[in-house]
Chains A and B, each alone.
Chain A
Amino acid sequence: MFDWSEIKKWFSKETSSKDVARDRLKLVLVHDRTCLSSELIEELKNEILIVISKYIEINQEEFDIHLSKNQEGDGNSMVHALVANIPIKSMKRIVHK
């Protein structure tokens, strides 16, 4: 059958709205299922910051932590991951006593 919507799709670069819905839903469910609210993530971030700062001098301004989707090794399936980006200013010299 002649389907206009198919032809329109070829010419538009827009992602279909259902794909947008699916991706948004997947991400929101990671938060729902892990019960990690943005406040909790903020708390987690602050605690990690304290621990890491003991060993490494880090750029606190650019320190970022968030939940995201990553491609798994096989390239087909997606896994959710807690991703932290921690820019290092300098390594501290740790003196073992």
Chain B
Amino acid sequence: MSEVIVITSGKGGVGKTTSTANLGVGLAVQGKKVVLIDTDIGLRNLDVVLGLENRIVYDLVDVVEGNCRTKQALIKDKRFDGLYLLPAAQTKDKMAVNPEQMKKLCAELKKEFDYVIIDCPAGIEQGFKNAIAGADRAIVVTTPEISAVRDADRIIGLLEANDISDPKLIINRIRMDMVKRGDMMNVEDILDILAIGLIGIVPDDEEIIITTNRGEPTVNDPKSKAGQAYRNIVKRILGEQIPIMDLDKPTGIKGFIINLFNKKS
């Protein structure tokens, strides 16, 4: 059964686009047919995060305006079988598309793909309304910051008001060193406040910046903790029961030695 999942957050810069890219690649690697839609018209970025920026011919606005067939606008990612991108227009604004058109487009794409994943723009205006119009479920991304959690709360309220019930939460960019010092809200604090189900936590990881610099997803990097976190979320989307990552466990050579001693004591 096909699903349309919107990735949203309210606040900008918390990792919606990075999450969309990594979950999309992760699902494709698992053998699913996936299309990613960038709905951030005027500020498109999913193309560069995926490394597909040089291959854009048509975009979302061309599709809804009928300037091309939907298939013509889809960019096939040659690295990952089954992964496609529908990029946003860069020269128009959010009003170039309306929620009705998005609903129609999502219904059309659902026939062809296992997963339609929508990268939502920041904010709660037209762009948000477009992004959620055709969605069956929602994943809300937040970081352990007061502003991001507040905006996530607002988004959860708006999703429920639009009959997208039971959204799931990704807590992104957790720094365990700060959590331990008591200088960063922990997972329990945030879940207690937002009162929604958790689909994954992603540690703050330099690898994300490095791989994004290269236009590669992190989800395939076996050494990256964030990559592992995204692989876990992909499996949870597919319905597997995977325990939430223990970020406290030290890794690397130092971690190996510490874990060795901890085991004996």
Which residues of A come within 8 Å of B, CB atoms?
A: 1, 3, 5, 9, 16-19, 21-22, 24-26, 28-29, 32-33
Residues on B with beta carbons closer than 8 Å to the beta carbon of A26: 193
Determine the main DSSP class of B at the interface with A: helix
**Can you identify 13 A-B contacts, CB atoms within 8 angstroms?**
A1-B258, A16-B183, A18-B182, A18-B185, A18-B186, A22-B185, A22-B189, A24-B146, A25-B149, A29-B150, A32-B153, A33-B153, A33-B157
Further pairs besides A16-B182, A18-B179, A28-B150: 19, Cβ < 8 Å: A1-B258, A5-B180, A16-B181, A18-B182, A18-B183, A18-B186, A21-B146, A22-B185, A22-B193, A24-B146, A25-B149, A25-B150, A25-B193, A26-B193, A29-B150, A29-B193, A32-B153, A32-B154, A33-B157
Determine the main DSSP class of A at the interface with B: helix
* Residue in chain B with minimal CB distance to A25: B146
Alpha-carbon separation in the docked complex, A76 to B179 (Å): 23
Residues on A with beta carbons closer than 8 Å to the beta carbon of B193: 22, 25-26, 29
A5-B181 contact given A18-B189, A33-B157, CB 8 Å threshold:
yes
- Tell me if B189 and A29 are in contact (CB < 8 A): no
B52 interface hit (Cβ, 8 Å):
no
B133 interface hit (Cβ, 8 Å):
no
